[in-house]
Structure 1
Amino acid sequence: MSALSRRSALLLGLSTPAFLAACATTPPMSPPDPTGMADPEMRALLASLASLGPKPLEGLTPAEARRQPGLADATLNLLRQQNKPTTPRAVPLVKDVTIPGPGGPLQARVYSSAHIPEMPGQAPLPLIVYFHGGGWVISTIDTYDTSARALSLDAGAVVVSVEYRKGPENKFPAAHDDAYAAYVWAVQNATTLGADPNRVAIVGESAGGNLAIATALSAKAGGAPMPQALALVYPVAGTDTATPSYTQFANAKPLSRPAVLWFVGQYTNGGSDLQDPRLNVYGAADLRGLPRTIIVNAEIDPLADDGARLEQKLQQAGVSVTRRVYPGVTHEFFGADAVLSKAKDAQTFVAGELRAVFVNTPTPPLPAPRGRVRPVHPRRATP
């Protein structure tokens, strides 16, 4: 029975004909692309997702939501339908590690595009610390394995993809504290990883994009080494869910406005959490002094205006920023390069921008973080 039917039952009574009729009628399935704006490749991927039967997240428990098929599953499903290989892009070194976190050990995965740490004599590669998406509630480093592989290969870098605590079991700022601790650990251990601690970027998708910029803000506030670049792929950059893109794409798939509200409700306690500069970045954070920032947005996405507002605020703060919007694709498109040409274009764009930063970055020794690693509250922007 749908949520609408349950609400109707409360209003009409459990034995009314209207309620019985509602129970007897199967609600129509929404189309794979409710907006009608997806390009042919994206439509095929959304149709593949629909065939897997995902349920709206807002009607599920967190445990149920974590078992739902997502766009990564739909990509594999579509490849099988097309009789194409489903094996991921080969990376010379992929290794799981455990790193210390403020709430206990964290899982991470290290990808190296060319340099094998056990083989001396090779120049260290740039370092990318990567945070996956999933609304701080669902998904893992496995879900976003494709993105991490692409970044390692296309940017010629060592990528450390970080797992973090999730809500509702671990409320805000647990994931943010984990992300900052993991970043500091990665920089401190860069040489051991075969990476250059002087050429570092932080990259994240969706909620991971929020963790990426929040980590840079915490590094600035705590005196930790700053990254040389940020790459934010359709990031959560604010807490205003009444923007034009939230309104226009309220029912978009795979991410809708009700799903975003569900994620926020699971991870935060509302109230003051929503005004914290680590969540309300474009509305409350002091963005001055942040490094070169690359933003990628999908056209069909409630979060599109988050990227636009963040770009504007970064420009006002004197930060070098480039933003690119990909038409005809939805949230989560970035990792679907096996079936979406625009995903491959976006990966190449981000990698090229990062390469340019790394090539032009001098390599003086970076200072060690002051004191022990601890959660840092970034300053609010001055009005």
Structure 2
Amino acid sequence: MRWTSLASLLTVLVTALVASSFSTAAENGADKDMQAVLEAHASLKPKPIETLSPAEARTQPTPADAANVVLKKQGKRTDPETLVPGVKSADRSIAGAVGKIPARIYTPSGTGPFPVIVYYHGGGWVIGDKEVYDGGARGLAKQANAVVVSVDYRLAPEHKFSASWDDALAAYKWTLTNAASINGDPKKLALAGESAGGNLAVATAIAVRDANLQAPLHVLAVYPVSQTSTTTESYEKHANAKPLNRPMIKWFVDKLINSPSDLKDPRLQLIDAKLKNLPSVTIINASIDPLLSDGVMLEDALKKAGVPVERKMYSGVTHEFFGMAAVVQKAKEAQEYAGKRLKQAFGG
């Protein structure tokens, strides 16, 4: 009887734990389709990034992998050209700050020349690449009807701050010079990025202004890093969120910076940068994200500087949702909104 009672007790405890995990997700407000991706990611058993070496972290299952798990469960194909029809891609090397860097060029169907978007992936400047963030870049090519140049800038800790920013600017310069060769209109350029890449997009716009180069017509910053404090309202509220949490961000920063003084650099501390005379900006945020407050603070700083800015927050989704249009409805809506904003800036 004791063993039977113990087994019954364990069953009750396990059931309670499972119920608790789902109720926590419900309390966090994740939409059903977003929750499906989070559960798929958990099923891949990723190790906590903050406990790994950079090399190990780069091999972990990604949210993009999780989205593919959901697609397969739905009996759907996962190849990118099926998910985003009408957009072709080709990989090549372009000029970085100190040598060639990989890039992926996305081209929509049609004759062109098309506007061109220089796009920077996320991953805390330590992990991530054009492959992991294919969904966001490819979606922008479709929705904005533009060529997208997705850049694999150098990563830390092999290349500490400010290597990523230097490559980001170099990629913009390359695009200015070579837009026509990729069926692009060199007079219609924009910058875009997700997370760390959202920071790079804004920082590059500042660097372009300061270098007196031809300005981009628009900047799209999707849940950007805009400052270096980890005690904001959203950091406190979503400290243990998935797939991005506060310990991960501290790990990223530790691998990135040369010394604590880098944290005051305006390329990281964007809200304290000189923001006047930047092109119009669109900020996209997720409600379940430690970086939500970063978006709010960046919007406020841009408004104070007189920069035209529009920010939209999508409820029920987490960090990394933007590239998941194939499986998350809010991602589809966000990509459509981003495309509309970019088209308006391009004059189309």
Say yes or no: does 1:108 pair with 2:103. yes
Answering whether residue 188 of structure 2 is matched by residue 196 of structure 1, we say no
In structure 1, C-alpha distance between the alignment counterparts of 2:293 and 2:28, rounded to whole Å:
19
Is 1:208 the counterpart of 2:197 in the alignment?
yes
Find the aligned partners of 1:222 and 1:200 in 2 and give their Cα distance. Answer: 16
User: Does residue 313 in structure 1 map to residue 305 in structure 2?
Assistant: no
**Aligned match of 1:273:** 262
Q: Which amino acid aligns with 2:42?
A: A
Structure 2: distance between partners of 1:123 and 1:343: 27
1:61 alignment partner AA: S
Q: Give the AA of the match of 2:95.
A: P
Residue by residue over 1:184-220, the C-alpha shift from the partner in whole angstroms, topping out at 9 and shown as x without a partner, is 1011111111111111110000000011111111111
Structure 2 letter corresponding to 1:46: L
Q: Output the CA distance in 2 between the equivalents of 1:253 and 1:109.
A: 28
Take 2:329 and 2:164, find their aligned partners in 1: how far apart are those partners? Answer: 32
Q: 2:334 aligns with which of 331, 346, 349?
A: 346
Pick closer, same or farther for the CA change 1:265–1:31 going to 2, 3 Å: farther
Contiguous gaps of at least 5 residues in structure 1: 1-27, 116-121, 361-383
Aligned to 2:7: none
For residues 101-152 of structure 1, give each alpha carbon's deviation from its aligned partner in whole angstroms, at most 9, with x where no partner exists.
222210111111024xxxxxx4411010000001101111011111111111
Aligned residues: 326
The aligned residue for residue 288 of structure 1 is 276
Match 1:52 to one of 44, 48, 51:
44
Letter in 1 for 2:243: P
Q: Secondary structure at the match of 1:216?
A: helix
Q: SS of the residue aligned with 1:192?
A: helix
- Preserved CA contact (<8 Å) 1:91 1:149: no
* Deviation (angstroms), 1:330: 0.2
What residue number does 2:93 align with? 98
Which residue pairs with 1:370 in the alignment? none
- For 1:141, which of 130, 140, 144 is the aligned residue? 130
Q: Aligned pair 1:62/2:54, yes or no?
A: yes
Letter paired with 1:68? Q
CA distance in 2, matches of 1:233, 1:78: 23
2:28 counterpart SS class: coil
Q: 1:352: how far off?
A: 0.4
Distance 2:265 2:86 in 1: 38
Shift of 1:36: 3.1
For 1:306 and 1:266, the matched residues in 2 are separated by: 20
CA contact (8 A) 2:87 2:141 kept: no
Following superposition, which runs of at least 4 residues in structure 1 exceed 4 angstroms of deviation?
28-35
How far does residue 311 in structure 1 lie from its aligned partner after superposition? 0.2
Partner of residue 74, structure 1: 66
1:81 Cα shift? 1.4
Is 2:35 the partner of 1:43? yes
AA paired with 1:48? A
Question: Is the CA contact 1:297–1:324 (under 8 Å) kept in the aligned structure 2?
Answer: yes
CA distance in structure 1 between the aligned counterparts of 2:112 and 2:67, rounded to whole angstroms: 36
Whole-Å Cα distance in 2 between the matches of residues 328 and 253 of structure 1? 13
**In the alignment, which residue of structure 2 is the partner of 1:217?**
206
> 243, 246, 260: which is aligned to 2:249?
260
CA drift at 1:345 = 0.1
Kept in 1, the 8 Å contact 2:28–2:288? The answer is no
Identity over aligned residues, as a percent? Answer: 49
Judged with a 3 Å threshold, the aligned counterparts in structure 2 of structure 1 residues 85 and 162 are, in CA distance, closer, same or farther, namely same
User: How far 1:37 moved relative to its partner?
Assistant: 2.1
Cα separation, 2, equivalents of 1:31 and 1:205: 28
Measured after TM superposition, the shift of residue 224 of structure 1 is 1.3
> Structure 2 length as normaliser, TM-score?
0.91
Residue of structure 2 in register with 1:303 after alignment: 291
